[in-house]
Amino acid sequence: MSVTEKEKESARAYWKTNVRIILSSLAIWALVSFGFGILLRPLLSGIAVGGTDLGFWFAQQGSILVFLGLIFFYAWRMNKLDAEHGVGEE
Amino acid sequence: MDQFTINLLFVGASFALYIGIAVWARAGSTSEFYAAGRGVHPVTNGMATAADWMSAASFISMAGLIAFTGYDNSSFLMGWTGGYVLLALLLAPYLRKFGKFTVSEFIGDRFYSPTARLVAVICLIVASLTYVIGQMTGVGVAFGRFLEVNNTLGLLIGAVIVFAYAVFGGMKGVTYTQVAQYCVLIMAYTIPAVFISLQLTGNPIPAIGLFSEYEASGEPLLATLDQIVRELGFNEYTAHHGDTLNMVLFTLSLMIGTAGLPHVIMRFFTVPKVADARWSAGWTLVFIALLYLTAPAVGAMARLNITDLMWPEGTQGQAVSTEQIANDPAYDWMATWQQTGLLGWEDKNGDGRIQYYNDADADMQERAEAEGWEGNELTNFNRDILVLANPEIANLPGWVIGLVAAGGIAAALSTAAGLLLAISSAVSHDLVKGRLNPNISEKGELLSARIAMAAAILVASYLGLNPPGFAAQTVALAFGIAAASLFPVLMMGIFTKVNNKGAVAGMLSGLIVTLIYIFLHKGWFFIPDTNSFTDADPLLLSIKSTSFGAVGAIINFAVAFTVSRMTAPLPPEIEELVESVRVPKGAAAAAADH
């Protein structure tokens, strides 16, 4: 394999990993907001939290905290991935 | 010192700070004017973006929307924060890598189409201009209430302040004033909330207080709230009453709309590196979350306080007497806000008491019959006064009220400045330099950017003073446009090989279908009585016009893919552009080329 082909291969792998990380992050993003916060709330109604149920907590606070975790995780993970593939900025 | 002087001191001090920053941060080049020289630290940018994003709607209206509806309005909390996940993962790093100055410039270059760029510019200007009207009227209202000047003068003072730092400082001036404005608005929002949370639950952190025990009843706060609103015939606070499909789509529309708003996206052009754009999105959400985690507590606690004030003996006892409202200092806020016309009550049955209950509820009608009530007597309670009146309702000291006044104005001004910047850079960079005069010098472009900014402020002030009848609807319109046209096309530009024709067809179809759906429900061009449907009984299933942005986005994607598949593939140089946007390496060089 020539150098440029190797580079291309690495770029493809980099992008594939990125898309995979994005898709799993978005799955969690949807699960905590649309899932726990709205659609799955009836299933969580048995779990009491401060005078109401877990679904209410996810809708008003939990989802926001998970969103925060997701964005920082993504930034950390991608900066690592940049370094692994040598595509980061110095 | 009387309350007026205290308010004047707080607002005056905050304005002096903004002017000081304006003098210090003057823009010398187009790069400084459009992107603050790309030298903003990610945490600083996060704070500025938080102020840019949190408008009068977040600061003034959101807690009230939650307080009077309860769980169903959690959409605002999830929607307006969840959009940042989309922004951080799908747009911000790549658009920063691209390294240009406006959102429409990316669309024009990536889809090698002046038409796409023009459509994007129009979307950007319409969305930003409709959004800014609400901010300008918000400034006027806050001045009118706290400084006893009329709305017109208040709005003009606000416009002059924005002029001072936005015209001279551009993005650089706006960034550093937004940092100051964030500090003012977050203190103004959280300090009263901490006091109130301590009063009601003994816990100093409102977000935790919301799920703690209510000291007066010994029960959890939310359980008490559920009980007393139920006893007055209102919907239980924590229960789900509305339509689930609509709630899902509304939340999704707010998320996509947030991620597609140009004035938010362009803030990520100001950081030095791609990695910084990723971190910066996280910091933005940290600073937004400080307010958004507090807001549901503010809403629930205010609802509880108001109900307690109206029913001092409990919901089964006697309602508050008109005499007590007139004489007890704890009720002074009611007289203050009655003068603004945003709060009203009327002793309909003449029993000397004000009964506050849901007179549409069957059980309550029975009780009303038995007790001789003739309908709900707290006849008018504008949701927007909740946050502003909250310190007075909870009987907090005068300086807290002054701080809230400065905070409300800071929230409106910071968002207005961000929107005006988005408009002026689109006009000078995309229209003047991009279309009319591509050979314009750097100096000429900077001058035209300043003139565009001044003109945008004039137009926004005029529209703020003479708000079109549809002013209240326009935020929904801005989100609809951002969600249905801008977000999908930006995302496809990075993640797919959709071509020029696909992009233009997708943008136009998403935009047009969404506009038609909004007009069918709100009236054509918002002219009253020209609507064929209402949001109570919408055209498609249970989808309200405010929730349609997500559907518009799906249409945009579908049309773009179909058209793109039937037409010529991407030229090789655009393939290369897409590849280069996907990797961070070389972002500094991309910026320097410019």
> Which amino acid is present at B134?
G
Contacts of B433 (CB under 8 A, 6+ apart): B440, B445, B448
Q: How much is the pLDDT for B356? A: 87
Contacts of B497 (CB under 8 A, 6+ apart): B564, B569, B570, B575, B578
- The answer as to whether B385 is a domain residue is no
Name which of B53, B73, B76, B89 to mutate to probe chain A: the one with the most chain A Cβ atoms within 10 A of its Cβ.
B89
User: Is some CB atom of chain B closer than 8 A to the CB atom of A24?
Assistant: no
- Name the DSSP letter for residue B380: E
CA atoms within 13 A on the CB side of B171: 31
- The answer as to whether B506 is a domain residue is yes
Pair type for strands A52-53 and A48-49? antiparallel
Q: How much is the pLDDT for B589? A: 54
pLDDT in tens, A5-41: 887 888 888 899 999 999 999 999 999 999 998 888 8
Name which of A29, A36, A47, A52 to mutate to probe chain B: the one with the most chain B Cβ atoms within 10 A of its Cβ.
A52
Nearest CA-CA distance, residue A66 and chain B, Å: 10
- The answer as to whether B112 is a domain residue is yes
Contact at CB, B251 and A50, closer than 8 angstroms: no
Round to whole Å and give the CA distance between B520 and B118: 26
Which residues from A are below 8 Å from B252, CB to CB?
A: 34
Of the partner residues A14, A71, A82, the one whose CB lies closest to the CB of residue B84: A71
What DSSP string runs through B460-516?
HHHHHHS--TTGGGHHHHHHHHIIIIIHHHHHHHHHS---HHHHHHHHHHHHHHHHH
Pair type for strands B353-354 and B320-321? antiparallel
Q: How much is the pLDDT for B395? A: 81
What DSSP string runs through B385-431?
HHHHHHHHHTT--HHHHHHHHHHHHHHHHHHHHHHHHHHHHIIIIII
Q: How much is the pLDDT for A21? A: 95
Which residues from A are below 8 Å from B247, CB to CB?
A: 38
- The pLDDT tens digits along chain B (594 residues) read 788 888 888 888 888 888 888 788 777 778 887 777 788 888 988 899 999 998 877 888 888 888 888 888 898 999 999 999 999 999 999 988 888 888 888 998 899 888 888 889 988 888 888 888 878 877 777 777 777 777 788 788 888 888 877 887 778 888 888 998 899 899 989 999 998 898 888 889 998 888 888 888 888 888 888 888 888 888 888 888 878 888 999 999 999 999 999 999 988 888 888 888 899 999 999 999 999 999 999 988 888 888 888 888 888 888 888 888 888 888 888 887 887 777 888 888 888 888 888 888 888 888 888 888 888 888 888 777 788 888 888 888 888 888 888 888 888 888 888 888 888 888 888 887 877 778 888 888 888 888 888 888 888 888 877 766 555 556 767 888 889 989 999 999 999 989 889 999 999 999 899 888 888 877 776 667 777 777 777 777 777 878 888 999 999 999 999 998 888 888 888 888 888 888 888 765 555 444
Contact at CB, B211 and A49, closer than 8 angstroms: yes
Residue B308 contacts residue B118 (beta carbons within 8 Å): no
Looking up residue B519, the CATH number of its domain turns out to be: 1.20.1730.10
- The answer as to whether B431 is a domain residue is yes
CB pairs under 8 A between A and B: 140
Q: Where are the domains of chain A?
A: 3-84
Two tokens, residue B529: 């009585």
- Name the DSSP letter for residue B91: I
Residue B577 contacts residue B494 (beta carbons within 8 Å): no
Contact at CB, A52 and B220, closer than 8 angstroms: yes
- The answer as to whether B189 is a domain residue is yes
> Which amino acid is present at B79?
G
| Closest alpha carbon to B356 in B370, B342, B369, B344 | B344
The band of A62, judged by pLDDT with boundaries at 50, 70 and 90, is very high
- The answer as to whether B357 is a domain residue is no
Nearest CA-CA distance, residue B22 and chain A, Å: 32
What DSSP string runs through chain A?
--HHHHHHHHHHHHHHHHHHHHHHHHHHHHIIIIIIIIITHHHHTTSEETTEEHHHHIIIIIHHHHHHHHHHHHHHHHHHHHHHTT-S--
Residue B171 contacts residue B270 (beta carbons within 8 Å): yes
Q: What's the full length of chain A, in residues? A: 90
Domain that holds residue B158: 3-301+396-592
Q: What's the full length of chain B, in residues? A: 594
- The answer as to whether B390 is a domain residue is no
Instruction: Look up the pTM and report it.
Output: 0.89
Round to whole Å and give the CA distance between B541 and B401: 45
B413-B522-B507 Cα angle (round to 5): 75
| Closest alpha carbon to B53 in B475, B418, B456 | B418
- The answer as to whether B117 is a domain residue is yes
Q: How much is the pLDDT for A72? A: 95
Instruction: Count the domains in chain B.
Output: 1
